[in-house]
């Protein structure tokens, strides 16, 4: 699960209010797409799958200067999927911060307890660190060095979580519409 989940992220962006696909793309790119914006094809393909799966529905549509502009709203099934994804700690692994950041921002946007998600993730990290520490102590050297590699990355994640926890109110003020 340690990858950017575009469909769940779009559900999180839709939860506060109905939106058009181009609005979702803009908000995604602004909040998460630094250096890697979503393509319109990915946005509309994802919206189509979410609609097919009953996680969003068309709220209304309006004619525009091109194709009809459809606004989407999240369904209760979509909210359930979003809540399950937000609540599930990610597998502790290197380069996880992007996914954690997305979860924190979406929690703040939907007025959910971002600190609870960070606490759950911290617990998962500490559990994994105990496993890696045991692996390091058991040796041999090649396994110990691999365990150290994982431990150092997990320690960096924990520091990021601490800093983020301390700055949640500032981040909320910056990202909440």
What is the domain partition of the chain in residue ranges? Answer: 1-86, 89-177
pLDDT band at 68 (very low <50, low <70, confident <90, very high): low
Q: Note the maximum CA span of the chain.
A: 67
**Higher-scoring residue by pLDDT: 140, 81:** 81
Please give the C-alpha separations between residue 70 and each of 12, 124, 162, in angstroms, as whole numbers.
Answer: 18, 40, 40
CATH class of 1-86: mainly alpha
pTM of the model: 0.69
CA–CA gap between residue 83 and residue 162 (Å, rounded) = 23
Banded model confidence at residue 2, pLDDT cuts 50, 70, 90: very low
Per mean pLDDT, which range of 68-72, 106-110, 114-118, 156-160 is the poorest?
Answer: 68-72
**Residue with more model confidence, 139 or 108:** 108
Beta bridge partners of 57: 73
* Arithmetic mean of pLDDT, 71-99: 85
Q: Where are the alpha helices (DSSP H) in 88-167?
A: 97-109, 114-138, 141-166
- Residue 3 has a pLDDT of 45
CA distance to 38, 40, 101, 165, per residue, from 114 (Å): 25, 29, 10, 8
Confidence band for 35, pLDDT divided at 50, 70 and 90:
low
Yes or no: say if 143 and 135 are a contact pair by the CB < 8 Å rule: yes
Which has more pLDDT, 25 or 35?
25
**119 backbone φψ class: left, alpha, beta (φ>0; ψ -120 to 50):** alpha
Site of tokens 């529905």? 57
HSE (CB half, 13 Å, CA atoms) of 24?
33
21, 8 contact by CB (below 8 A) = no
- Quick one: which of 118, 114, 131 has its CA closest to 158? 118
């Amino acid at each position: 699960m340690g990858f950017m989940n575009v469909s769940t992220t779009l559900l999180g962006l839709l939860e506060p209010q109905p939106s058009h696909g181009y609005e979702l793309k803009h908000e995604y790119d602004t909040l998460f797409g630094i250096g890697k914006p979503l393509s319109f094809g990915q946005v509309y393909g994802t919206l189509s799958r979410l609609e097919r799966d009953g996680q969003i529905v068309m709220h209304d549509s309006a004619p525009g200067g091109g194709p009809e502009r459809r606004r989407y709203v999240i369904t209760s099934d979509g909210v359930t999927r979003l809540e399950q994804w937000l609540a599930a700690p990610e597998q502790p692994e290197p380069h996880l911060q992007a996914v954690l950041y997305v979860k924190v921002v979406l929690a703040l946007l939907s007025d959910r307890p971002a600190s609870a998600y960070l606490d759950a993730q911290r617990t998962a990290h500490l559990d994994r660190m105990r496993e890696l520490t045991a692996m390091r102590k058991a040796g041999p050297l090649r396994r110990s060095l691999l365990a150290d590699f994982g431990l150092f990355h997990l320690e960096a994640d924990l520091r990021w979580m601490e800093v983020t926890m301390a700055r949640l109110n500032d981040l909320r003020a910056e990202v909440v519409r």
